[in-house]
Structure 1
């Protein structure tokens, strides 16, 4: 389906390009020049856009549409190159003067990029961008009250399940799921138990905070408070439960395919493979609630981060770059990205379009999941978070942790999270 949509999109773009080429003359060129001049833009701007390998054809198509809808950009030289959002920060900071004018980056990179002076502060149509995108995506694009990124897609996780093993009602509660007998050799539930991206959702759901309420205080983390210790006890129970497996993406995909798994946590990137494996039994749901030993029912709050587009502070064409970056992330372009790449939109209208989202059950559930998600902190201290969380998960799996020493274990984990970078 995605290939078909992309083909139609690119054919229409090529047709528009051919028509534009056949009908161009000096009079039209002059009109385009006048449009650029009246709008305050350079008539011959040169811009480079970075994006993932998978996005290249789509980006080129969107850029052609941008030129068609913005006559002032007709003479601009816009090229694309391959640098993924995950790698953007490292590549930009190597030498911002030779980096792309516009680049996609993961929102947890924003603090370091802004601190290094690599991001241009958004000054064009800021209020409109804020109004058009969901609030937590705007928060992720903001540093010290100023916007430095254009929200584009959201990224978190949720639960996939086998409908032949669970009903829609049963998958609302992990306690209910784990109480069910699925037969010999079949795991009821799996997740990456030593990966803080997943396990942190249990702490956030219980009210714990990482780097303070707004995620900006590197001296604050209360995962070792009373509720946090109970969450630690619950995660230990999961690790020692024979009905639960510790699985990364490769293992969970194989288990679902073999019919040996009831449910697991992962993201939209595995939707196509799981839909193929499960067929009519393909099910998706938000992360289920669970019950702590004190009787508290907790709904996990998953970490969410966003892919943003940023403008390089070193660009020679900031006004032109902002115009293009805004177009790359507007409602129309986000819809194209959803249709072609199965990406979850941050645009409010698209996120609320149930008819559109229903064409991708995984994205539809993700859109519900992020309503209660916790935005991943972007301060540099986040680099200290992952290793202590991984160590805690591994110790639980190895049964090196007990409920008797859970408080001391959690204290050590938090101490590691709050230690100085590089220590």
Structure 2
């Protein structure tokens, strides 16, 4: 009797297992979806959902929006708002019910946005995002161990080269840059062998980082360990100051618009500029390429700041599901490749690199992807905003001959004061 009962129970268990219709792989898929912050059901937009997006308007984004609207039936309104302005605008417009559902900004503002409760975590697509994205990009859009962003691309800067002016110079060292500038410079006629924005701390930081300078200790996470006046930072600023010999212009006169215009006109041989300006140079009349920033004296290579641009879902959005779907859609492999081809952005989707056929003959992408090996990510803690405020004024002082150590000491002291005041 017992033996028959046991046999019956075993048969029933087998029958139930067969009726469940789920293999081990099916169960794993369901578990994976649950771990991603969602359920076994596909995320669907809310009824009647419409979205407002704040980012820079361009054809790539407009085309992507059209494709999303076609696939999901959700209308997306694009407002042309520059990346550095989106988050500050949300701080005022969000509570008033006027903010965007989605906004783009650089990862250095993630800590500020998260701490202020302005953005929602990337929860439903968390595991998929992590498995598809380069770890450095994941780290950049994560704060307090919570993933917030949907990384779209890396942005950084390197050396744009007008080969019609500089010929076949290798540009491995700054000595070559100095020689080219001295030969070509004709300041009264607005001709320059070399140009950079000397009032851009984003660019100048590469020299400090290359010599070991830093903003915050512990890989940019310790607000109490400041390295603005460290030995490496001072040495980097000394090199920066030496460039005035080949760029004898007032710090405030070298604006982005001026530099972009002169390079476009073929009046600049070497131009430090970012991936974000690549599209504006696509129609230049001269032979152009991009190379990594050359080695500084002592064999130290500048470490350009890198940023990760991503989309973030506003905590004020009435349609978070639709917003998450759109952010995930924009960060897809296909859209990252299209963004690279159209705008010069560096993909952060795993496996998308310079060896791909799409980038084989793209001199700009080849150069920027090579430069990406020599970068340092911007810190993303909230206190990063004080770096720009307190250290940018030091650039003009140093460029005009001020004592470097004293100037950086003062900048660091002001930054300490800002951090202390912000902690109260």
TM-score, normalisation: structure 2: 0.77
Q: Secondary structure at the match of 2:214?
A: coil
The alpha carbon displacement at 1:193 in A equals 1.7
SS in 2 for 1:207: coil
Distance, in Å, in 2 between the alignment partners of 1:168 and 1:142 is 42
The answer to whether the 8 A contact 1:381-1:418 is kept is no
How far the C-alpha of 1:418 sits from its partner, in A, is 2.9
Q: Distance in 1 between matches of 2:142 and 2:100?
A: 21
Conservation of the 8 A alpha-carbon contact between 2:130 and 2:138? yes
Q: Does 1:252 align with 2:233?
A: no
RMSD of aligned residue pairs (Cα, Å): 3.0
Residue 175 of structure 1: CA displacement?
1.9
Distance change >3 Å, CA 124–CA 359, structure 1 → 2: farther
- TM-superposed CA distance for 1:272, in Å, is 4.7
How far did 1:90 drift? 2.1
Paired residue for 1:235?
240
Q: Which residue of 1 aligns with 2:183?
A: 182
Q: CA–CA distance in 2 between the matches of 1:102 and 1:259?
A: 38
Partner of 1:284: 290
- Which runs of 5 or more residues in structure 2 are unaligned? 1-38
The answer to whether the Cα contact below 8 Å between 1:111 and 1:379 also exists between their aligned partners in 2 is: yes
Contact 2:157–2:275 under 8 Å retained in 1: yes
* Offset of residue 352 of structure 1: 4.3
Indicate if the aligned counterparts of 1:44 and 1:77 stay in contact, CA closer than 8 A.
Answer: no
The alpha carbon displacement at 1:154 in A equals 1.9
For the 8 Å contact 1:60–1:80, the answer to whether it is kept is no
* Offset of residue 140 of structure 1: 1.6
Find the partner of 1:52 among 50, 55, 75.
55
Q: Distance in 2 between matches of 1:39 and 1:115?
A: 30
- Quote how far apart the aligned CAs of 1:92 are: 2.0
C-alpha deviation, 1:151, in angstroms: 0.2
Structure 1 residue 381: Cα displacement: 2.2
Gap regions ≥5 residues in structure 1: 1-35
Give 1:109 deviation, angstroms. Answer: 2.2
Q: Secondary structure at the match of 2:124?
A: coil
Post-superposition shift, 1:327?
1.3
The whole-number CA distance in structure 2 between the counterparts of 1:229 and 1:43 is 54
Among 167, 178, 197, which residue is 1:192 paired with? 197
Give the secondary-structure state (helix, strand or coil) at the position aligned to 2:50.
strand
- Higher-Rg member (1/2): 2
2:8 corresponding residue in structure 1: none
Q: 1:218-238 deviations in whole A, cap 9, x for unaligned? A: 222223223332222222222
Aligned length: 372
- Supply the distance in 1 between the matched residues of 2:139 and 2:325 (Cα, whole angstroms): 21
**Runs of 4+ residues over 6 Å off in structure 1:** none
Equivalent residue in structure 2 for 1:407, among 389, 405, 410: 405
Indicate if the aligned counterparts of 1:121 and 1:147 stay in contact, CA closer than 8 A.
yes
Task: State the match for 2:117 in structure 1.
Answer: 117
